[in-house]
């Protein structure tokens, strides 16, 4: 027996919310992959702790992707077992997300250490690095408008005279612009890449938090509507 009246509306709400969850899951997978590629290739951050966040994003995205598909089928077919399973699994996902948020907050101060160590390693390996590696470091300095780890003086061993920096440190990049201009603030960025990268990551984390809150609210509404639909389906069976 199909649900009727207000439960019919709830059924379509559950279906609609599951479609939104499906899109959210897909978005988390894409964002997780992009962050992972950025950390391990573009920024060359090798600390395994740094990879935890994108891996969790990808994992949660995959789970939500399949759970939402499961919920859509359950709502469409008005299957009590499938909708119940969906509500339980979605509740577990919310709990995991809350736990992940707490862990992220507790270890938030470690971000500075991870970034500093990673940038230091990149700078130290620059001279003997491959052309691709050097290009990565150059892109980092150019894009974030920074130079060295803590400042341009970190490149004191870049040349024998100790007063030159890579051209990517220059405000207006031209070939040889970094020669003899290490302390020239008019020509070379003086801010270190460690602080610049940390600021960049913290600014982007704000948008991640906003997105997480929105998704969590949608998930809670989905659980409420799923429970209402479960009751409606069960009542329909009892009438039969």
Give the predicted TM-score (pTM) of the model: 0.59
Counted domains in the chain: 2
What pLDDT does residue 192 have? 92
**Same domain membership, residue 125 and residue 88:** no
Shared domain check, 141 and 105: no
Question: Domain for residue 87, yes or no?
Answer: yes
**For position 186, which CATH number holds?**
1.10.1450.10
Q: Do 152 and 97 belong together in one domain?
A: no
Residue 239: what pLDDT? 46
The domain of 37 spans 5-110+225-239
Residue 227 neighbours by CB under 8 Å, 6+ apart: 87
| pLDDT: which is higher, 126 or 101 | 126
Q: What is the pLDDT of residue 63?
A: 83
Q: Which of 38-47, 169-178, 185-194 is predicted least confidently? A: 38-47
* Domain-located, residue 145: yes
Task: Say whether both 102 and 13 belong to one domain.
Answer: yes
Whether residue 209 is contained in a domain is answered as: no
| Residue (of 205, 187, 203, 207) closest to 145 by Cα position | 187
**Distances, alpha carbon 157 to alpha carbons 22, 86, 91, 147, in Å:** 52, 59, 55, 14
233: in domain: yes
Query: How many Å is the Cα radius of gyration of the chain?
Result: 25
Average pLDDT, the chain: 79
Instruction: Encode pLDDT of 7-60 as tens digits.
Output: 677 777 777 878 887 887 888 788 777 766 665 555 555 555 555 666 777 787
Q: Are residues 99 and 163 in the same domain?
A: no
């Amino acid at each position: 027996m199909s649900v009727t009246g207000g439960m019919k509306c709830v059924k379509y709400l559950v279906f609609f919310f599951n479609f939104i969850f499906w899109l959210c899951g897909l978005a988390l997978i894409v964002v997780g992959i992009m962050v992972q590629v950025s950390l391990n290739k573009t920024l060359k951050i090798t600390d395994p702790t740094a990879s935890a966040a994108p891996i969790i994003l990808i994992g949660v995205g995959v789970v939500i992707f399949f759970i939402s598909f499961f919920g859509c089928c359950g709502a469409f077919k008005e299957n009590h077992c499938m909708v119940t399973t969906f509500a339980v699994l979605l509740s577990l996902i919310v709990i995991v997300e809350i736990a992940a948020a707490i862990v992220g907050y507790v270890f938030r101060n470690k971000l500075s250490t991870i970034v500093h160590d990673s940038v230091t390693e990149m700078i130290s390996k620059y001279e003997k690095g491959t052309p691709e590696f050097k290009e990565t470091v150059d892109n980092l300095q150019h894009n974030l408008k920074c130079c060295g780890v803590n400042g341009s003086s970190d490149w004191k061993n870049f040349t024998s005279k100790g007063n030159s920096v890579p051209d990517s440190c220059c405000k207006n990049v031209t070939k040889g612009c970094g020669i003899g201009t290490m302390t020239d603030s008019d020509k070379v960025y003086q801010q270190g890449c460690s602080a610049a990268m940390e600021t960049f990551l913290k600014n982007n984390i704000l948008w991640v938090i906003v997105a997480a809150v929105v998704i969590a609210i949608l998930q809670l509404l989905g659980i409420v509507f799923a429970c209402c639909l479960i009751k409606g389906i069960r009542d329909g069976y009892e009438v039969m």
